[in-house]
């Protein structure tokens, strides 16, 4: 039985959607869509059938890894053969994790969607570890005077930023928890990539997002209370850029 191929694991044609609506029980009694049932059956088979399924799955995972690394190109300096090697590592480790957890696939999503999450996780992990192999910052270093440079401000406007930076520094010290301060300083002040911070803090992306969101919300409130946001803000000091709460990937 040959597994069907998809481009990314997230997209589906109308035909695939229609086929996915027909559920069939597998050997363990799980109700799976036709494509997922084929994947599971082939991967749990033996000999040539399983080898072919593993090759197809690795090819799919490698395409996803390369695409994700390309999408995050502005967040890391890796290029050329090293980048492709990282994609192969992510695909290989994701394949190993998937085949080790086939019995845990419950069919709540399509198999390719389930597999997609494994390779995205591996890409994030490997990018984070790569950063700390040659770190460009130290987490205990805080250089608040460099904050305007982090946001591309013209040196001529630095004096306009000084009051805002000082107020932001006070707000960070006075209103954030230890964890919120650590995350905010690392990402906003030091420019540590999210995936690298996840590794360093032994956390996950969602937890870091939530901590950063809460920190920025507190800082916006503190700055607004002291007239650093809105019409009374200092000219040229665009505080929302620093403390905006919009989620980024």
Q: Is 6 contained in some domain?
A: no
Domain of residue 36 covers: 14-133
φ, ψ for residue 192 (rounded to 5)?
-70, 130
CA–CA gap between residue 198 and residue 206 (Å, rounded):
10
Q: Is 78 contained in some domain?
A: yes
Last residue in a domain, options 133, 166, 196:
133
CATH code of the domain in which 195 resides: 1.10.10
185 DSSP assignment: I
| pLDDT tens over the chain, length 249 residues | 444 443 444 444 344 444 444 565 555 666 788 899 999 999 999 899 999 999 999 999 999 999 999 998 877 888 899 999 999 999 999 999 999 999 889 888 999 999 999 999 999 889 888 877 766 555 555 667 767 666 555 555 666 677 778 888 899 999 999 999 999 988 888 878 888 888 888 889 899 999 999 999 999 898 888 887 754 444 444 444 555 544 444
**C-alpha 178: how far from chain center:** 23
CA–CA gap between residue 161 and residue 129 (Å, rounded):
34
Number of domains in the chain: 2
Structure token pair of residue 170: 């006070």
Do residues 156 and 97 share a domain? no
Do residues 28 and 102 share a domain? yes
């Amino acid at each position: 039985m040959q597994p069907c191929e998809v481009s990314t694991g997230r997209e589906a044609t109308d035909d695939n959607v229609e086929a996915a609506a027909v559920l069939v029980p597998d050997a363990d009694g799980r109700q799976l869509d036709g494509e997922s049932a084929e994947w599971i059956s082939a991967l749990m088979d033996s000999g040539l059938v399983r080898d072919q399924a593993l090759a197809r799955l690795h090819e799919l995972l490698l395409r996803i890894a390369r695409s994700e690394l390309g999408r995050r190109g502005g967040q890391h300096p890796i290029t050329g053969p090293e980048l492709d090697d990282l994609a192969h590592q992510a695909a290989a480790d994701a394949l190993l994790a998937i085949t080790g957890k086939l019995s845990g696939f419950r069919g709540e999503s399509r198999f390719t969607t389930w597999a997609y999450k494994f390779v995205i996780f591996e890409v994030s992990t490997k990018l984070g570890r790569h950063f700390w192999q040659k770190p460009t910052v130290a987490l205990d270093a805080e250089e608040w005077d460099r904050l305007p440079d982090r946001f591309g401000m013209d040196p001529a406007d630095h004096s306009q930023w000084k009051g805002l930076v000082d107020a932001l520094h006070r707000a960070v010290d006075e209103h954030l928890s230890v964890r919120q301060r650590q995350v905010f300083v690392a990402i906003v002040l030091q420019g540590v990539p999210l995936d690298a911070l996840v590794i360093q803090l032994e956390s996950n992306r969602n937890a870091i997002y939530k901590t950063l969101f809460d920190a920025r919300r507190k800082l916006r409130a503190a700055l607004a209370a002291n007239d650093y946001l809105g019409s009374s803000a200092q000219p040229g000091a665009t505080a929302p850029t620093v403390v905006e709460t919009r989620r980024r990937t």
